[in-house]
Structure 1
């Protein structure tokens, strides 16, 4: 994903802009990371350079929780334990 995309992205749930970008792996583009809405604490994974900004009903816990567990030390703590639609238990 190109960083410039953040200039136009808004949360698909509450339409909030600007969103927070967390980069986990970067080359010329962002390879792995997350996009977080600071208003509703929804987080969206960036996998293989693609931001996956789906509404809650189209997201799979079986896909998203392993991503959150893998990168939990790179996410803000509030998102890890209070984020939407999935979070880790303390």
Structure 2
């Protein structure tokens, strides 16, 4: 994901802008990371350079839990333990 995308991305649920970026792996672009909405507490993983910004009902539990497990040492508690979607 190019850093310029941060200027246009907003939370798809409540339209909050800007989203907080937690960069986990990058080269020229952000390869792995998380976007966090401070308004509703939802996080959106960035996987293979693509921000996965789906509504709760369309998110895949396994993909999200795998992402959280992989990066649990680098993500803050507000994403790991308090982040939405709540059904994970």
Give me the TM-score of the superposition, normalised by structure 2.
0.92
Q: Note the 1:7-22 alignment, pairs <5 A.
A: 7-22=7-22
Q: Which runs of 5+ in 2 are unaligned?
A: none
Relative distance call for 1:75 and 1:56 in structure 2 (3 A) is: same
Give me the TM-score of the superposition, normalised by structure 1.
0.90
Q: Which runs of 5+ in 1 are unaligned?
A: none
1:79 Cα deviation from its structure 2 partner: 1.8
Q: Aligned partners of 1:17 and 1:71: how far apart in 2?
A: 24
Structure 1 stretches of 4+ with a deviation exceeding 3 A read: none
